[in-house]
């Protein structure tokens, strides 16, 4: 027998999750080859706007290949949330996401009594991009989420709400209460019960991973205090994109999505193992030298001068650095390596971040390459190709790379016709010779650390405060290393 109010054509095995927030929920990373294939058709996305590429119509269901949110967005949290859910649920169960997210928005953008004033406060010259994002949702993203959710309810059952937001409200103590207001409104407008539709909220990028708003995690972890059905998803050790202080890498989004799914499945009594990032290295070291370009293939490598004892790296301001290994191979650098991309007998040198992701520039959408400006006095840059400012030169990113036995590799720039020797433009008549090395995390001397857990019957809050079990308020607590929920 179907639950009261459920239509006969509603599939009770179609689990639907509402997603909202800003850019990390919108999808900021460029999807890589592994993200564009083998999506189980049991994972569906409801188009919340019309798409041209890929062709999608608002209000229709599609297999959830990225981009999920809007045309021009990228890989985000919802992608691997859904993939992980269907992988671990019975084959008769489908999962759908309804994702309305706006990169850069404050939480007020999802509050109907505040969104009008918020949009009116935007500068049309410097925030036209944000204004246009809101226009895509008729200047009311909350209402669009509700309208699409009602369409989704004609096909399946809403099982939860996924949130990732905070950078634009960083540290605001009113944030948990604002989340509660939006969550409560969703429950009321969609005739849902909180106990049936938990909220899953993710932390922001940690400071040790390059995050600039990690302090807001204090507010994120307060959510269970004001929303008893809220669950916080950790961002610990998730790699950032190496470009800015707010966004995760593609790898980071994959793992974050799995963590959201692990939390949701755990509430169903399903415990799973997921991918977890290696704790971040603080520095790297040279590993094996290469003696030919064919030997390198697609392996990332460091460009190192044996005579000067210096290596190239990308600084956080997108300049090319050239320094001793203790500086060049720090994990805090934007890039430390390069990957070969053959082109017409020459090579592009794709910049690679310390966590192994491809580096991008200009807000994350332009691929980053070693690119030499032909003007004396300018340094070589890590730049994209064909960006809107015309600051890059495609020929300046092409290199004639030759190996001389006993000397190493020379790099002659196609645009300048000169050789690279240092972090200045490739302007030299005589070549410098470099060694190309693979690299690995620097040895710490600590091979393995094992922690023996001791049973602890006491109950603690999420921030480590011991509490009296006789006077627990509704929320999430820790006992014996596991989360418990007090209703």
pTM of the model: 0.63
Question: Which residue is listed with tokens 């938990």?
Answer: 198
**What pLDDT score does 29 carry?**
92
Q: Which structure tokens are listed for 375?
A: 């003007």
Burial readout 235-257 (b: 16 or more C-beta within 10 A, e: otherwise) = beebbbbbbbbbbbbbbbbbbbb
Residues of the chain with pLDDT under 70: 1-8, 280, 362-365, 374-379, 386-392, 444-487
Q: Could you give the CA distance from residue 351 to residue 343 in angstroms, rounded to a whole number?
A: 16
Active-site residue 23, yes or no? yes
> Residue 350: phi, psi to the nearest 5?
-75, 130
pLDDT digits 0-9 by tens, 447-486: 333 333 334 456 655 545 556 666 666 666 566 555 566 6
Per the DSSP assignment, residues forming a β-bridge with 311 are 304, 323
Closest CA to 168 of 362, 19, 22: 22
Q: How far is CA 199 from CA 67, 104, 143, in A?
A: 23, 21, 18
Q: Do 171 and 201 form a contact (C-beta atoms < 8 A)?
A: no
Q: Which domains does the chain have, with CATH numbers?
A: 14-267 (3.40.50.1110), 284-441 (2.80.10.50)
Q: Could you give the CA distance from residue 80 to residue 253 in angstroms, rounded to a whole number?
A: 7
* Catalytic residue of the set 147, 244, 323, 392: 244
Q: Is the dihedral of CA 83, 300, 276, 465 positive or negative?
A: negative
Q: Could you give the CA distance from residue 253 to residue 238 in angstroms, rounded to a whole number?
A: 8
Q: What's CA 9's distance to the chain center, in Å?
A: 36
Active-site residue 138, yes or no? no
Active-site residue 487, yes or no? no
* Catalytic residue of the set 99, 231, 247, 372: 247
Q: Could you give the CA distance from residue 196 to residue 214 in angstroms, rounded to a whole number?
A: 30
Q: What's CA 364's distance to the chain center, in Å?
A: 11
**What pLDDT score does 387 carry?**
53
**What pLDDT score does 244 carry?**
80
Q: If you compute the radius of gyration of the chain from its CA atoms, what whole number of angstroms results? A: 25
**What pLDDT score does 464 carry?**
53
**What pLDDT score does 100 carry?**
98
Q: Which structure tokens are listed for 21?
A: 């927030």
Q: Do 407 and 436 form a contact (C-beta atoms < 8 A)?
A: no
């Amino acid at each position: 027998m179907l639950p009261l109010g459920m239509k006969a054509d509603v599939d009770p095995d179609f689990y639907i999750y509402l997603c909202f927030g800003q850019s990390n929920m919108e999808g900021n990373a460029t999807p890589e080859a592994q993200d564009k294939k083998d999506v189980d058709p049991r994972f569906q996305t409801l188009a919340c706007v019309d798409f041209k590429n890929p062709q999608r119509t608002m209000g229709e269901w599609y297999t959830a290949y990225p981009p999920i949110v809007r045309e021009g967005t990228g890989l985000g949290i919802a992608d691997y949330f859904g993939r992980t859910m269907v992988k671990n649920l019975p084959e008769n169960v489908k999962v759908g996401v309804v994702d309305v997210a706006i990169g850069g928005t404050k939480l007020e953008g999802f509050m109907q009594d505040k969104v009008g004033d918020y949009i009116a406060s935007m500068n049309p010259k410097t925030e036209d991009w944000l204004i246009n994002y809101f226009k895509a949702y008729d200047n009311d993203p909350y209402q669009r989420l509700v309208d699409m959710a009602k369409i989704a309810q004609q096909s399946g059952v809403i099982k939860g709400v996924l949130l990732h937001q905070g950078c634009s409200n960083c540290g605001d103590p009113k944030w948990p209460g604002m989340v509660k207001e939006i969550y409560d409104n969703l429950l009321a407008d969609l005739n849902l019960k909180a106990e049936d539709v938990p909220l899953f909220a993710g932390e922001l990028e940690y400071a040790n991973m390059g995050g600039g708003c990690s302090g807001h995690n204090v507010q994120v972890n307060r959510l269970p205090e004001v929303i008893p059905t809220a669950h916080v998803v950790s961002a610990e050790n998730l790699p950032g994109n190496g470009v800015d202080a707010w966004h995760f890498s593609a790898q980071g989004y994959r793992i974050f999505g799995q963590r959201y799914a692990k939390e949701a499945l755990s509430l169903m009594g399903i415990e799973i193992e997921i991918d977890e990032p290696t704790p971040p290295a603080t520095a790297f070291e040279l590993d094996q030298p290469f003696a030919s370009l064919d030997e390198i293939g697609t392996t990332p490598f460091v460009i190192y001068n044996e005579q000067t004892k210096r290596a190239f790296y990308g600084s956080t301001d997108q300049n090319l650095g050239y320094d001793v290994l203790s500086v060049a191979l720090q994990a805090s650098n934007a890039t430390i390596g390069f990957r070969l991309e053959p082109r017409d007998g020459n090579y592009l040198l794709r910049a690679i971040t310390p966590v192994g992701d491809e580096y991008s520039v200009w807000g994350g959408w332009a691929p980053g390459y070693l690119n030499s400006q032909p003007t004396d006095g300018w340094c070589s840059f890590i730049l994209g190709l064909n960006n809107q400012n015309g600051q890059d030169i495609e020929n300046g990113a092409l290199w004639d790379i030759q190996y001389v036995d006993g000397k190493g590799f020379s790099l002659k720039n196609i645009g300048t016709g000169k050789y690279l020797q240092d972090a200045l433009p490739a302007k030299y008549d005589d070549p410098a010779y470099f060694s190309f090395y693979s690299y690995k995390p620097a040895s710490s001397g600590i091979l393995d650390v094992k922690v023996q857990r001791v049973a602890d019957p006491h109950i603690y809050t999420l921030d480590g405060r011991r509490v009296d079990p006789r006077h627990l308020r509704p929320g999430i607590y820790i006992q014996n290393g596991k989360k418990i929920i007090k209703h």
